[in-house]
Chains A and B, each alone.
Chain A
Amino acid sequence: MNASPSLAILTLLLSIVGMSCSSPRESTTGLPVYTAADVSGAADWPPPVAKAELQLESEPLPLEVGVVVFEEGLRNPDAQDARDKLRSVETRLAAAYLRDILTESGQWGAVRVLPGASHFAALTLSGVIIHSDGRDFVVDIKAVDATNRVWLDARFHSQASAVEYLDSTTEPFRPLFVAIANRLRVAAEDLASTDMARLMGVADLRYAQELAPEAFSAYLSEESGFLQPNRLPADSDPMMARIARIRNQEALFIDTVDEQYVDLREELGPTYRLWRRSSFEQAEYLEAYTERASGRELKAKQGSFAAMQQVYSAYRSVRIQEQDLFELATGFDNETAPTVLKVGENVVRLGGTLDEQYSQWRRILGQIIVIEQGAL
């Protein structure tokens, strides 16, 4: 009968004990707590892509494809991760490798790596590297054509195994790039031949509109977010011939920039591969250690040297492994920084030149338009 008040007091006291002696492991500040899972966001990754054959075509579609240099994705919120530096190299190498795969597939016309977003190609692919540690590679890929139609907007995840690193000539994450290429091909199959012709027309006009907005603004209109041609210029339109010449000029620039990516891959490829392999081994070891240590029972008496040494050693080992990964990335950065800087400067310089050329051509085109309008 008297149990209830006693139990109530007991419960109250125990809850006070629980509150006042709450474990310091719980965040008492309300500040965000970063865990490895938060940083990597592994919960948001799709399952790894299955290995598949690259679909090869003997008859390529007459579409030019631009692969924009990938963006660096989710940065480690701790901002202490040298892998962020590595990503800047990966953004270029990954875009160049995707270009290679698309070219290898034979499905497309010219495939070029673009230093920045542009309406140069009829189909433009952009990517964001979400995660890369030698074992898992996760990217967001978006493919949009000149009419604003989205062909592909998906996250891809590939997981390498030790076997992939045995042969130094294979790309460990090739299945991911193959999956992207195959998905693009499926999207292209949905496009009727009339749509394809219209897309190519819109691509030319959109590029022309970028250069001479006044002259070409009437040719395109937007409907529900998609661009549609109102009318097409005559084949003999001299303005289109001029635009075509400028386009060739830009293609030359882009191809020159593209050469830089080839050089980058040749120079940094082996080191980058070494980093990925080492990073893979570290990630594998860390996971195995974590699993092993988590399952280890603490048999020693609390407060004894053995018990304290066990928990401290486990923590110390994990932290050292994590920091070895950081040091690997730092080593990569130290070794490659001069090359990346050189390429970066060249790209920036070429980009600048390209912009200047655009400006000059636009001015000239504007003058031509004024002269021609005056002559009418």
Chain B
Amino acid sequence: MRKPLFFAVMLLLIGCQTDGPKPARYAPADPIDMTGNWEVDYARSDNIQRRFNTIIRQLQQEAERRARAAERGQSYSGAPMSSGRELLALAEMAEIITAPELLEVIQTDNTVRVKRENSFALICVTDRPPPTITQTPFGEERCGWDGHQLFFDITLPDGLSIRHRLTRSALADSLVLQTAVYSPTVREPFIVNRVFSRFDPSKAGYRCTQTLSKGTVCTTEKPN
């Protein structure tokens, strides 16, 4: 008779642990112009392998602490540990999600469109209080301005969540895209910071336009 009660209490205690990020509160919108073309600056960005190694080291230290506590017959009150394999899976996902090296931000008074090379664009309608919610059969996107940061929270089935935060530097010469990937089986999100530097695509000596009948059409002529 007591078992269901015990089970429910345990659910209450541990149930939320794997439920991804909590709903956020947002600071008043303070939009910043991020328009332009941006390319990743690897020197200033996180190295996923190094970050993974760091987390693994932390996990090992944690495991050692638990082992020592067990040897002394002490109980250890920490949360359950993530497995190395699940963490590796999360790191691999983070690598895929943060792969785009080029961004193009097109910003109007009511929309921000972050085009990402070889991935889908992050699009947000910003003329209403955040978050703007878009639902598809395969997941939900929430976006908006949180102060001067632009956020995109993507919630996918099976507990996978992705949170992007885009911040522009005060000098307007770089963007930081912070991506946190949450898995239901890993305690902490895997966070990757990518720094992007502004670049001028016209310096390549040509510019391209998307057309319907001819595809991408490029010209070396200067715009009027």
Chain A: residues with CB nearer than 8 A to chain B?
A: 2-3, 6-7, 9-10, 13-14, 16-17, 20-21, 23-25, 27-29, 31-36, 77-80, 270-271, 274-275, 278, 290, 293-294, 298, 302-305, 307-309, 311-312, 314-316, 318-320, 322-323, 327-328, 330-332, 334-335
Contacts and interface: CB of A to CB of B under 8 A. Distances in A.
Given A271-B212, A315-B139, A13 B89 contact: no
Counting from the closest, the 8 A-B pairs by CB-CB distance are A303-B185, A319-B120, A305-B89, A331-B212, A13-B8, A315-B138, A331-B210, A315-B139
Contacts of B8: 9-10, 13-14, 17
B133 A34 contact: yes
B125 A29 contact: no
Contacts of A10: 4-5, 8
Interface of B: 1-2, 4-5, 8-9, 11-12, 15-16, 19-21, 23, 86, 88-90, 92-93, 96-97, 110-111, 113, 119-121, 123, 125, 127-129, 131-140, 153-162, 183-186, 209-213, 215
Contact of B19 (A6, A21, A298, A335): A21
A91 B110 CA distance: 25
B111 A9 contact: no
Contact of B211 (A270, A315, A316, A334): A334
Contacts of A335: 211-213
A311 B138 contact: yes
B21 A323 contact: no
A342 B9 CA distance: 71
A13 B153 CA distance: 29
Contact of B209 (A290, A315, A318, A334): A334
B110 A79 contact: yes
Nearest to B2: A6
Given A17-B12, A31-B128, A304-B89, A318 B137 contact: yes
Nearest to B212: A331
A80 B211 contact: no
Given A79-B110, A323-B120, A21 B15 contact: yes
Contact of A303 (B89, B119, B153): B89
Contacts of A290: 137-138
A7 B154 CA distance: 36
Contacts of B120: 316, 319-320, 323
B138 A314 contact: yes
Contact of A24 (B21, B185, B211): B21
9 contacts: A2-B1, A6-B1, A20-B12, A34-B135, A35-B136, A79-B111, A302-B158, A308-B158, A322-B136
A25 B155 contact: yes
A293 B9 CA distance: 36
A321 to B, nearest CB: 9
Contacts of B88: 305
Nearest to A16: B12
Nearest to B16: A21
B212 A332 contact: yes
Given A34-B135, A80-B125, 7 more contacts: A2-B1, A13-B8, A25-B140, A304-B89, A308-B160, A312-B162, A315-B139
